[in-house]
């Protein structure tokens, strides 16, 4: 998946453009210009030809309005009416002499743009690029959503299937046995994992809800003055218990002086939990160190593990939505934790970054501003 601002936002370099024009010289000139700019070009000089070639789904159709058989507006209308071609990108090209009403009609009939000629080569190319970029962005968003839906469905299905098996077994044991001899240990053996599976489902659903909140900019912080040192100290017990259950040691390095800032306790709890959970998950069983320090203007939280590390090319990407690094093939991973973490930290006016060496471990650093007031 492409992060915003990267290749995903640029038009595909080899985009295919269907150039429709009944004027041979203009057809030739525009096609030549497009080919020189690196596009694949298909040509049509009548409306019918255009409809036939459009079935091959070019990335953009440059559609002259005046055509000998079916005019450009009608071609556009038919393309939009056909399920196979209704989403194609269509830009009308016509002479400046065309009435304003006609241009409006063109757009109303479903064209995505209406450009009048003559137009400078550079300007036409810039317009084409902009339109393709817009389409690329929309396609990427849809692709990311589809990919995510399939990962999320898979992740939800796994605990659900196990949950069902455990409940079925418990039901079988309780209904089969006479009421006074229900085999309690066996029932318990099915019900305890069922509880864990429910917790897992709960966590996944919470993450999904968070993402939808964060993405639709509904992340509201409930800030109050807090002592970060005390706060991390309080969380230590819970985090230590979590680490101990998988045989990992946590080491806390907290300053003796309080560090006062304005923060949303529940959200900052999420930040620390996500970072420490990852450090445990990807930390190869080695100790994880959590350090809090005061710097000029900032409070810093550092979470360091000595695990698998993150490849340089993955280090920026993993903060994106649904992104997972290539060297970690964990199931139970939606690639959402760091995205939510970054959004929470940013909402606090802070930053998050990572330094890491493959095979040696990673350090995540969260910086939170000290002198912010309650107004975020």
> Can you read off the two tokens belonging to residue 213?
């909140």
User: Pick from 318, 344, 366, 368: which binds ligand ADP (CB under 6 A)?
Assistant: 318
Q: Is 335 in the site for ligand ADP (CB under 6 A)?
A: yes
Q: Is 363 in the site for ligand ADP (CB under 6 A)?
A: no
The arrangement of strands across the sheet holding 90-95 comes to 40-44, 16-20, 60-64, 90-95, 113-117
Stretch of 26-34, 99-107, 158-166, 318-326 contacting ligand ADP, by CB under 6 A: 318-326
Q: How far apart are CA 292 and CA 251, in angstroms?
A: 11
Of 294, 290, 280, 283, the closest CA to residue 252 belongs to 290
Q: Is 333 in the site for ligand ADP (CB under 6 A)?
A: yes
User: Pick from 324, 348, 352, 368: which binds ligand ADP (CB under 6 A)?
Assistant: 324
> Can you read off the two tokens belonging to residue 152?
């999320």
Shortest distance in whole angstroms from residue 309 CB to ligand ADP: 6
Shortest distance in whole angstroms from residue 348 CB to ligand ADP: 18
Q: Is 39 in the site for ligand ADP (CB under 6 A)?
A: no
Question: Residue 246 CB: number of other CB atoms within 10 A?
Answer: 10
Q: Is 250 in the site for ligand ADP (CB under 6 A)?
A: no
Stretch of 95-103, 122-130, 171-179, 317-325 contacting ligand ADP, by CB under 6 A: 317-325
Q: Is 337 in the site for ligand ADP (CB under 6 A)?
A: yes
Q: Is 376 exposed, middle or buried (0-12, 13-18, 19+ CB in 10 A)?
A: middle
What DSSP assignment string belongs to 101-138? HHHHHHHHTT-SEEEEES--HHHHHHHHHHHHHHHHHH
Q: Is 344 in the site for ligand ADP (CB under 6 A)?
A: no
Q: Is 269 in the site for ligand ADP (CB under 6 A)?
A: no
Question: Among residues 94 and 278, whose Cβ is nearest to ligand ADP?
Answer: 278
Q: What are the beta bridge partners of residue 357?
A: 361
Distances (CA, A) of 240 to 65, 233, 273: 70, 11, 11
Question: Among residues 103 and 304, whose Cβ is nearest to ligand ADP?
Answer: 304
Q: Is 278 in the site for ligand ADP (CB under 6 A)?
A: yes
Q: How far apart are CA 294 and CA 256, in angstroms?
A: 11
Shortest distance in whole angstroms from residue 241 CB to ligand ADP: 20
User: Pick from 61, 132, 338, 368: which binds ligand ADP (CB under 6 A)?
Assistant: 338
Q: How far apart are CA 353 and CA 230, in angstroms?
A: 23
User: Pick from 339, 345, 352, 368: which binds ligand ADP (CB under 6 A)?
Assistant: 339
Question: Among residues 284 and 370, whose Cβ is nearest to ligand ADP?
Answer: 284
User: Pick from 163, 243, 334, 366: which binds ligand ADP (CB under 6 A)?
Assistant: 334
Geometric angle at alpha carbon 281, from 277 and 283, rounded to 5°: 105
Question: 116-145: which residues touch ligand ADP (CB under 6 A)?
Answer: none
Q: Is 308 in the site for ligand ADP (CB under 6 A)?
A: yes
Shortest distance in whole angstroms from residue 217 CB to ligand ADP: 19
> Can you read off the two tokens belonging to residue 145?
């959503």
Do β-strands 250-253 and 90-95 pair in parallel, antiparallel, or remain unpaired? unpaired
Q: How far apart are CA 157 and CA 341, in angstroms?
A: 25
Q: How far apart are CA 321 and CA 334, in angstroms?
A: 9
User: Can you give the binding site for ligand ADP, defined by CB under 6 A?
Assistant: 274, 278-279, 282, 305, 307-308, 310, 318, 323-325, 328, 333-339, 362
């Amino acid at each position: 998946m492409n992060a915003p601002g990267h290749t995903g936002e640029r038009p595909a370099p080899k985009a295919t453009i269907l150039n429709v024009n009944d004027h041979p010289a203009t057809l030739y000139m525009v096609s030549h210009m497009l080919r020189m700019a690196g596009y694949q070009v298909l040509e049509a000089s009548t409306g019918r030809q255009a409809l036939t070639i459009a079935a091959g789904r070019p990335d953009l159709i440059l559609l002259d309005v005046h055509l000998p058989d079916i005019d450009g507006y009608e071609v556009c209308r038919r393309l939009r009416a056909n399920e196979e071609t209704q989403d194609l990108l269509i830009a009308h090209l016509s002479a400046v002499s065309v009435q304003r009403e006609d241009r409006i009609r063109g757009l109303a009939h479903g064209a995505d743009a209406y450009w009048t000629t003559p137009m400078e080569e550079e300007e036409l190319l810039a317009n084409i690029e902009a339109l393709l970029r817009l389409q690329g962005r929309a396609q990427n968003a849809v692709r990311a959503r589809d990919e995510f839906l399939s990962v999320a469905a898979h992740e939800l299905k796994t605990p659900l299937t196990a949950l069902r098996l455990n409940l079925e077994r418990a039901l079988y044991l309780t209904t089969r046995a006479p009421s006074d001899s229900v085999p309690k240990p066996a029932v318990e053996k099915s019900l305890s994992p069922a509880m864990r599976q429910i917790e897992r489902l709960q966590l996944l659903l919470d993450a999904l809800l968070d993402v939808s909140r964060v993405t639709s900019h509904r992340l509201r912080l409930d800030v109050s003055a807090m002592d970060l040192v005390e706060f991390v100290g309080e969380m230590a017990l819970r985090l230590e218990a979590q680490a101990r259950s998988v045989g990992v040691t946590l080491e806390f390095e907290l300053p003796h002086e309080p560090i006062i800032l304005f923060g949303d306790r529940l959200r900052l709890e999420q930040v620390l939990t996500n970072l420490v959970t990852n450090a445990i998950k990807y930390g190869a069983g080695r100790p994880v160190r959590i350090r809090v320090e005061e710097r000029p203007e900032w409070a810093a939280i550092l979470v360091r593990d000595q695990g698998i590390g993150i490849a340089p090319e993955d280090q920026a990407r993993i903060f994106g939505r649904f992104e997972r690094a290539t060297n970690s093939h964990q199931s139970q991973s939606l690639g959402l934790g760091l995205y939510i973490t970054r959004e929470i930290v940013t909402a606090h006016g802070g930053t998050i970054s990572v330094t890491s060496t493959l095979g040696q471990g990673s350090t995540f650093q969260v910086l939170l501003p000290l002198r912010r007031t309650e107004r975020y």
